[in-house]
Structure formats: structure tokens, C-alpha cells
């Protein structure tokens, strides 16, 4: 890899770190506003209340600082599907008796520790294997750093919908998440819709460049240049 490529990765990855840090602080700001009784409010996520969303986020951020993997008797919850679903329940189960303040403090301390480390030794290779990863997922550093703002911001929105406190929809984490999800539109067009060859679609997001996709001769939704 050339020095130019490494520099390019460093800048890209630093942007992901920055937007993740904003997402974490946005989520913490919201959680600190909630009285503890609202932590039992169910969210749109089956089987999860506000506390579960916060506990899950604190769990993952702790693992990413190098904390040991946790174990728990998860059982067979009806809302859980797949091995990763069982894994995410571990953090929820282990924090079921924790107070709201304890979960907030864990999330803040873990995220601050990780943010400090990422600033002190910025990642330079997006394709490298992360030093720490949760659940053994086979992600690159790029995928991990890109995913974390999305996950944190979306759980913030899960909580906001549950407690009736909409907001933070125009933030950098919101923009990051919308653009990240927009990249999957080609797959939806090809595999979910089953659109015929030559079908195209343009998604126009306020504040972002348009996303255009077209079904190619192999039936795949490829990203293309948007029309002028």
C-alpha cells in the first residue's frame, strides 16, 4: 500500500471516528434527560425497552475498548433470531439490574476511552483487522468504524420514538446513516423488488449527492452516475 493510500485511509477513518463520537454524545445527552421510569418504555424493537437499547450500546462499546467478552444465560427469547441476536442479548441480560446512571456511566467511560485511543493512535488501514471486535464478526477496521455511528444513532432514534422526544435528525450521524443505508438501494431494487434489466432509480437525499442505481444485464443493482 502506498503512502498516499494510507493517508487517504487515515482521513476517511478519522471522519468515521468523529461522526461516531458525535453519535455517542447525542445518545448520552438524550439518556441523561430521561427519568429512570422511562427506561422501561418499550421500543419498536421486539423485546427491547429503552434500557435494553442503552445496555446493548454500552456492552458493545466496552468490548471495543478491550474488555473481555461476557457470558450470560440468555435462554430462547421469542424476539431473538440467529447467533448474533443471541450475542446482543448478552449485554442486555447482564445489565438488567443495573441502574440508568450505571449504564450511562459505563457507556460514557468506554466510549471516552476508545475515542482517546483512536485519537492517540489513528487507524491508517481501512482493510486491516480491528484490534478489538465484538462477537467475532469478520469486519475490517473500515466496516467497524463506519458501522458504529449508524448503530448508535439508530438506537438513539429507537429511544426517541419510544419516549416521544423526536430530534437529532439533521445531525452528521443522521446524514451518515442515511447515506450508508442508501447504498443498499441497488440490492433492494434487484433482489427485493425483482426489477427487470434496465430499471433505474434515483434517490435524492436533502444535503447529500443523489444515489442512482440501475439493474445491469446480470440482474444486479449497480450504482451509476445520476442524470444531469
Q: How far apart are CA 176 and CA 208, in angstroms?
A: 10
Q: What is the mean predicted confidence (pLDDT) over 12-40?
A: 98
Strand pairing of 221-224 and 211-215?
Answer: antiparallel
Residue 7: pLDDT over 60: no
146 exposed, middle or buried (CB, 10 Å; 0-12, 13-18, 19+)?
buried
Note the pLDDT tens digit of each residue in 51-107. Answer: 999 999 999 999 999 999 999 999 999 999 999 999 999 999 999 999 999 999 999
Q: Given this model, what pLDDT does residue 151 score?
A: 99
Res. 3 pLDDT band, cuts 50 70 90: very low
Q: Given this model, what pLDDT does residue 4 score?
A: 46
Average pLDDT over all residues of the chain:
95
Res. 228 pLDDT band, cuts 50 70 90: confident
- Residue showing cell 422526544: 165
- For the structural domain made of 3-181, what CATH number should be given? 1.20.120.450
- What's the grid cell of residue 133? 471486535
DSSP 8-state symbol, 189 = I
| CA distances in angstroms from 203 to 172, 178, 220, 223, listed in the order given | 19, 11, 17, 11
Cα dihedral sign, 156-161-164-170: positive
Please check whether residue 190 is in contact with residue 220, taking contact to mean a CB–CB distance below 8 angstroms.
yes
Q: How far apart are CA 82 and CA 138, in angstroms?
A: 16
Q: Given this model, what pLDDT does residue 157 score?
A: 99
SS3 221: strand
Q: pLDDT higher for 56 or 5? A: 56
CA 124 distance to own-chain centroid: 21
CA count, 13 A, side-chain hemisphere, 156: 28
In this structure, what are the phi and psi dihedrals at residue 90, rounded to the nearest 5 degrees? -60, -50
Q: Given this model, what pLDDT does residue 6 score?
A: 46
Domain residue extents for the chain: 3-181, 185-224
Please check whether residue 160 is in contact with residue 173, taking contact to mean a CB–CB distance below 8 angstroms.
no
Note the pLDDT tens digit of each residue in 115-157. Answer: 999 999 999 999 999 999 999 999 999 999 999 999 999 999 9
Amino acid at each position: 500500500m502506498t503512502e498516499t493510500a494510507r493517508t487517504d485511509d487515515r482521513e476517511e477513518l478519522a471522519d468515521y471516528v468523529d461522526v461516531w463520537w458525535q453519535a455517542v454524545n447525542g445518545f448520552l445527552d438524550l439518556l441523561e434527560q430521561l427519568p429512570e421510569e422511562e427506561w422501561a418504555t418499550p421500543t419498536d424493537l421486539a423485546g427491547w425497552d429503552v434500557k435494553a437499547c442503552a445496555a446493548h450500546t454500552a456492552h458493545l462499546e466496552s468490548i471495543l475498548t478491550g474488555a473481555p467478552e461476557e457470558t450470560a444465560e440468555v435462554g430462547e427469547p421469542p424476539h431473538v433470531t440467529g447467533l448474533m441476536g443471541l450475542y446482543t442479548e448478552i449485554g442486555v441480560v447482564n445489565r438488567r439490574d443495573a441502574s440508568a446512571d450505571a449504564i450511562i456511566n459505563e457507556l460514557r467511560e468506554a466510549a471516552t476511552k476508545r475515542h482517546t485511543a483512536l485519537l492517540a493512535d489513528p487507524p491508517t488501514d481501512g482493510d486491516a483487522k480491528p484490534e478489538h471486535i465484538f462477537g467475532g464478526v469478520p469486519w475490517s477496521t473500515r466496516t467497524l468504524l463506519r458501522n458504529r455511528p449508524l448503530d448508535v444513532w439508530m438506537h438513539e432514534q429507537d429511544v426517541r420514538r419510544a419516549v416521544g422526544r423526536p430530534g437529532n435528525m439533521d445531525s452528521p450521524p443522521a446524514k451518515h446513516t442515511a447515506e450508508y443505508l442508501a447504498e443498499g438501494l441497488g440490492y433492494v431494487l434487484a433482489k427485493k423488488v425483482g426489477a427487470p434489466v434496465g430499471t433505474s432509480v434515483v434517490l435524492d437525499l436533502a444535503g447529500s449527492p443523489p444515489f442512482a442505481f440501475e439493474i445491469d444485464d446480470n440482474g444486479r443493482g449497480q450504482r451509476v452516475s445520476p442524470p444531469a
